[in-house]
Amino acid sequence: MNKLTVKKNKSEIIYDSSVEDSKHISVKNKYDLFINGKWVKAKKYFKTINPSNEEVLSEVAFADKSDVNKAVSSAKNSFEKYWKKTKPTDRGKYLFRIARILQEKAREFSVIESLDGGKPIRESKSIDIPLAISHFFYYAGWADKLEYISRSSKPEPIGVAGQIIPWNFPLLMAAWKIAPAIACGNTVVIKSAETTPLTLYKLAEIIQEAEVPDGVVNIISGDGKTGSYIVDNPNINKIAFTGSTEVGKNIMKSIAGTDKKLTLELGGKAANIIFEDAPIDAAVEGIINGIYFNQGHVCCAGSRLLVQENIANLVIKKLKSRMNYLRVGNPLDKNTDIGAINSKSQLKKITELVESGIKEGANIYQPNCELPAKGYFFKPTFFSNVSQAHRIANEEIFGPVLSIITFRTPKEAIEKANNTCYGLSAGIWTSKGSKVFEVLKQLKAGVIWANTFNKFNPASPFGGFKESGFGREGGVHGLLPYLKN
Amino acid sequence: MNKLSVFLKEFQNPVDEIGTKERASFLASRSIKNQTKIDFIKLAVSMIDLTTLEGKDSSGKVYSICQKAKFPLAGDESIGPVAAVCVYPNMISDAAKFLDGTGIHLASVATGFPSGQYPLKLKIEDTINAIESGADEIDMVISRGKFLEGDYEYVFNEIKLIKETCIQTSQKLSAKKKTEINVHLKVILETGELETYDNVRIASFIAMFAGADFIKTSTGKIQPAATLPVTLVMLEAIRDFYNETGILIGMKPAGGIRTTKEAISYLVLLNETLGYKWMNNDMFRIGASSLLNDLLMQYKKQVTGYYQSSDYYTID
């Protein structure tokens, strides 16, 4: 019998690299601001890089106060002049157009999303881009049916929405925000995150191609300051923010006393609860998907694993062996499971919190995998022996780091799960249906998954309790914050 | 409580159907390219139990399948031979003659294949006869009726008896022929009749605990035969058994695997569930017949860059 000579590590055969082709994409060297349907020059530009190799991808405009004012007046102007008078079916038509063009360009968008943000191409291809598309399709359908969900027979839009989105799911977050806003007849000024501006400017090209009236969607880029100019602009009627709890609090302070409406989708420290009667192999997959999906840059990540004490050793053993099969590396390789950390500063934050975990005496585990020499990478990590009193059990790490806490009874699990300032999501793993419902009633979390984790659908509302924010995005609930009545 | 129920209790863990299917289809989406693809195709060919199990099987048919097993790609020895030829008991002596000295294993189905609805006495005789006729691998079927009745003890004892029969007959034959004969036992669960993944997991443990060398999905006579999720459930059972006992059990999906893409998916499943130790034909087999030519066609495509017409592949 012939024996094979193949590359292997200590546990498995290594696959040859299978890198997604990126020759077909078109990224300009420089992106201006997209205001009133035109590309508008800014005074300053900044570089956006590929976090997996630190190479510059493009330069984008930095919007200062006058640029923001320009964008907001363009949005206000187009709202007053025609968008609020546009027939609902026409608003739907434009959204359908955006969705369809995006669908045609899905491959290009997937590659750019992975280049700019560092996420594995497998995820941008199968989750980010298709979900963004389905949000546009979903809300396109609602545009002419709003009277069925509003208290009024003539639902009215609010006006100009200022939207600020994070860097973990750039295009998807833009879709979450733009689609319901314009379906309801609002106009939009949206700011991309500092490290991931590219797919939003590509979306601007689609908006032009779809012939959406000028000024209905204005897309700008910049840093936190730019965001604060949007928040403070008196012509903004509604703010939708997704990002850190700290910034969310600042936004609330600065709009106090105004009649601006607000929805916030902030941080999380979700409990993923594994009961003794859970299907353990599926639960281990759920743990992996819960915390290592998108390098853990997920606000609803299952970053606290609550596992019943009598099965903790078994679960940890299985988790360890499963982690040996995780592939960390080039985000464009189709077999990569964990890509690059989004930015240098995020890598620093993760490293700092992991060091605190070690210092505070928790047991760290990292699989024996090699990281690329260049770029920002972090090994998938978990801490066992963590108690509620550890920093890593309380603070949002926003990286591939899991804290494992044990519990003895369902009551204790619920208490520990709720013992956090956040309340965005949670997971329950048990083979008993009745236990699922008994536990979920008592969890203070906006999204709860049973025997699965990190599943999204445009028809299902998403949002948090406590310091994870308020207001819902997605589904019918996602339309209501954009309607006056 | 008896020993079996204590043992089963230890491994009793529900299998989540949706999660299993999701994991299997995720693994099937791995992108296997370039040299890895060539390696996996060669590996898959070397793992095939080339099978003919028909009422119309004859000496001529067995002769040609044995020739194909030896030289899958006529005139090109860079690929092959396959792991084994698998036939009905009446065909064993012919096959043994044709395979003599090749190193290719000879498997025979036994124990009242495919239904298993025969008296135990006959099943044992069936097994002894197969081994004495020259088979060095026995593919037995479990009593699914008894399993579904909940009589795990019966299923367990039956497998144990057949295993003992294999050992005793091997020893007798070894002494007689003065060569080391070690008959391997593959236990067919017929997962299509067990239906639920929980049943598949329990049956896997009964078989492994009773002494199976391999566990195998299907006879090929019942639909569905091998599927990726069912194979995943069995691989996970093998992994858990290994972690507890240190014993390596082999795996054989059989029936319904026809394309290279499917075969590669099975190897990915194996690679990322059990790892390198199982990536060889001592630990993994694929029961198939039409798969072989598709593998050869894809192999030629990888090596030369061109697809050839199916007329270039022999139909034996």
Separation in Å, CA A364 to CA A119, A320, A367, A380, A420: 24, 11, 10, 11, 22
Which residues, in sequence order, are CB contacts of A311 under 8 Å at separation 6+?
Answer: A274, A276, A278, A280
Q: Which residues of A59-95 are buried (b: 16+ CB within 10 A; e: fewer)?
A: bbbbbbeebbbbbbbbbbbbbeeebbebebeebbbbb
Q: Of B30, B35, B281, which is closest to A335 when you measure between CB atoms?
A: B30
Work out the mean pLDDT of chain B and round it to a whole number. Answer: 96
**pLDDT value for A350:** 98
**Average pLDDT score over residue span A64-84:** 97
Q: Considering only CB atoms, which chain A residues are within 8 Å of B18?
A: 282, 451-452
Measure the CA–CA gap between B273 and B282, rounded to whole angstroms. 17
Which residues, in sequence order, are CB contacts of A205 under 8 Å at separation 6+?
Answer: none
Phi, psi of A191 (to 5 degrees): -115, 130
- In angstroms, the separation between the Cα of residue A330 and the nearest Cα of chain B is 14
**pLDDT value for B2:** 76
Q: Say whether pLDDT at B314 is over 90.
A: no
**Average pLDDT score over residue span A292-312:** 97
Residue A279 CA, chain-centre distance (Å), reads 28
Q: Considering only CB atoms, which chain A residues are within 8 Å of B13?
A: 279-281
**pLDDT value for A105:** 98
**pLDDT value for A1:** 40
Question: How would DSSP label each residue in A50-112?
Answer: ETTTTEEEEEEEE--HHHHHHHHHHHHHHIIIIITTS-HHHHHHHHHHHHHHHHHTHHHHHHH
**Average pLDDT score over residue span B8-20:** 92
Q: Which position among A123, A184, A194, A299 bears the catalytic label? A: A299
**Average pLDDT score over residue span A336-360:** 98
Phi, psi of A56 (to 5 degrees): -75, 130
**pLDDT value for A4:** 58
* Contact between A3 and B39 using a beta-carbon 8 Å cutoff: no
Whether A452 and chain B come into contact, CB under 8 Å, resolves to: yes
Q: Considering only CB atoms, which chain B residues are within 8 Å of A8?
A: 276
| CB contact at 8 A, A300 and A268 | yes
Assigned CATH class of B3-47+107-302: alpha beta
Which residues, in sequence order, are CB contacts of B136 under 8 Å at separation 6+?
Answer: B105, B106, B107, B181, B182, B183, B184
Strand blocks (E) in chain B: 48-51, 84-87, 105-110, 137-141, 184-188, 214-216, 250-252, 286-288
**pLDDT value for A473:** 96
Q: Give the percent of chain A with pLDDT over 90.
A: 96
User: What is the SS3 assignment for A406?
Assistant: strand
| CB contact at 8 A, A481 and A184 | no
| CB contact at 8 A, A380 and A338 | yes
Greater model confidence, B180 or B12: B180
Measure the CA–CA gap between A175 and A200, rounded to whole angstroms. 10
Domains plus CATH for chain A? 30-266+466-482 (3.40.605.10), 271-450 (3.40.309.10)
Of the candidates A112, A222, A245, which has an alpha carbon nearest to the alpha carbon of residue A171?
A: A112
**pLDDT value for A3:** 52
Whether A4 and chain B come into contact, CB under 8 Å, resolves to: yes
ipTM above 0.90, yes or no: yes
Q: What is the pLDDT of residues B122-170, one digit of tens each?
A: 999 999 999 999 999 999 999 999 999 999 999 999 999 999 999 999 9
Confirm whether A265 is a catalytic residue: yes
Q: What is the pLDDT of residues B240-260, one digit of tens each?
A: 999 999 999 999 999 999 999
Radius of gyration of chain A, Cα coordinates, nearest whole angstrom:
23
Whether A18 and chain B come into contact, CB under 8 Å, resolves to: yes
Q: Say whether pLDDT at B199 is over 80.
A: yes
Confirm whether A369 is a catalytic residue: no
B254 DSSP assignment: B
Side-chain-facing half-sphere of A222: CA atoms under 13 Å: 26
Q: Of B16, B33, B271, which is closest to A282 when you measure between CB atoms?
A: B16
Q: What is the pLDDT of residues A359-416, one digit of tens each?
A: 999 999 999 999 999 999 999 999 999 999 999 999 999 999 999 999 999 999 999 9
**pLDDT value for A485:** 82
Of the candidates A221, A108, A218, which has an alpha carbon nearest to the alpha carbon of residue A162?
A: A218
pLDDT band at A2 (very low <50, low <70, confident <90, very high): very low
Catalytically active residues of B are: 139, 216, 252
Strand A160-164 with A55-62, pairing: unpaired
Q: Say whether pLDDT at A251 is over 60.
A: yes
Q: Locate all alpha helices (DSSP H) within B47-119, ordered by sequence.
A: 59-70, 92-99
